[in-house]
Amino acid sequence: MKLNDGSTMQTDLFFAATGRYPVGKNEETGLESAGVEVADRGMVGIDKKTLATSSKNVYAAGDVIGPPALASTSMEQAQRAVSAMFHEGDDDVTKDANHDDPLSIG
């Protein structure tokens, strides 16, 4: 492996993290011009219960609304958002959701 200072290092294993960042503030997304509130760090603001954004009929789920950035969490969020889209009334759309206990190590 070649290091920034030009030297090399022999290894058996190499891990690389490329990093992630939200693109909500990116002008190309058009979120703010559509009336969707975007936080300074690029995350989309939502109603925690329904996942509705500040723009009528626009919902958000997954990494764009903040941690945890897990596929299983994003799937559950998407299901809740769709349920809220087609649910009328003031009932809690999440009452029938299946919530597993979080994994904890240590």
pLDDT at 39: 82
DSSP code, position 89? S
Residue 100, pLDDT above cutoff 60 = no
pLDDT at 54: 92
- List b or e across 41-68, with b for residues whose CB sees 16 or more CB atoms inside 10 angstroms: ebbbebeeebbbbbeeebbbbbbbbbee
In terms of Cα–Cα distance, which of 106, 61, 105, 104 is closest to 82?
A: 61
pLDDT at 86: 81
The token duo for 106 is: 């240590």
Average pLDDT over residues 57-72: 84
User: What is the rounded distance in angstroms from the CA atom of residue 17 to the CA atom of residue 102?
Assistant: 24
Residue 38, strand partner residues: 44
Give me the percent of the chain exceeding a pLDDT of 90: 1
Residue 52, pLDDT above cutoff 80 = yes
